[in-house]
């Protein structure tokens, strides 16, 4: 089966510009996650979707970050405007299980490395 797809793989922008990342999870996976991974740190959850609904967005900086998963399949994460501290790798992951079945592993995409100058 195809893995989690993300694009672009790399992005360089100036501060105050906007950027969008795309993620296509594994087919049939109900839950989708966006993580921010700053160099030298572990992934930090930004937002979690189950189908097209938001389960957790408590750590999403909502003044500049937004995400959607309109049809419950692929998802877009946007940053507007970007700040220097947004430089990080943005990871998308998916799990087959809906909420309630915690055993299933997360499958990760290759990530998008964002550099804000």
Partner 1 sequence: AQTVTQSQPEMSVQEAETVTLSCTYDTSESDYYLFWYKQPPSRQMILVIRQEAYKQQNATENRFSVNFQKAAKSFSLKISDSQLGDAAMYFCAYRTMNTGNQFYFGTGTSLTVIP
**Of the two residues 31 and 75, which places its CB atom closer to partner 1 in the complex?**
31
Q: Which of 23, 67, 91, 116 binds partner 1 (CB under 8 A)?
A: 91
Q: Which residues pair with 116 in a beta bridge?
A: 13
Q: Tell me the window of 17-25, 65-73, 75-83, 91-99 that interacts with partner 1 (CB under 8 A).
A: 91-99
**Of the two residues 28 and 40, which places its CB atom closer to partner 1 in the complex?**
40
Q: Is 77 exposed, middle or buried (0-12, 13-18, 19+ CB in 10 A)?
A: buried
Bridge-based pairing of strands 112-116 and 10-13 is parallel
Closest separation in Å from C-beta 15 to partner 1 = 24
Distance, CA of 110 to CA of 3 (rounded, Å): 9
Residue 40 as a binder of partner 1 (CB under 8 A): the answer is yes
Distance, CA of 63 to CA of 51 (rounded, Å): 24
Q: Using CB under 8 A, list all residues that contact partner 1.
A: 31, 33, 40-45, 48, 55-56, 89, 91, 93, 97, 99-103, 105-106, 108-111, 113
């Amino acid at each position: 089966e195809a893995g989690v797809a993300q694009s672009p793989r790399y992005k360089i922008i100036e501060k105050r510009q906007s950027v969008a990342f795309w993620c296509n999870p594994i087919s049939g996976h109900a839950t989708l996650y966006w993580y921010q991974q700053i160099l030298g740190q572990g992934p930090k959850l930004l937002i979690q979707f189950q189908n097209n609904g938001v389960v957790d967005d408590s750590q999403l900086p909502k003044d500049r970050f937004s995400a959607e998963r309109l049809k419950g399949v692929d998802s877009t994460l946007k940053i507007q405007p970007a700040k220097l501290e947004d430089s990080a790798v943005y990871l998308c992951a998916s799990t087959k299980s809906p909420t309630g079945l915690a055993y299933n592993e997360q499958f990760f995409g290759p990530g998008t490395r964002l550099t804000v100058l």
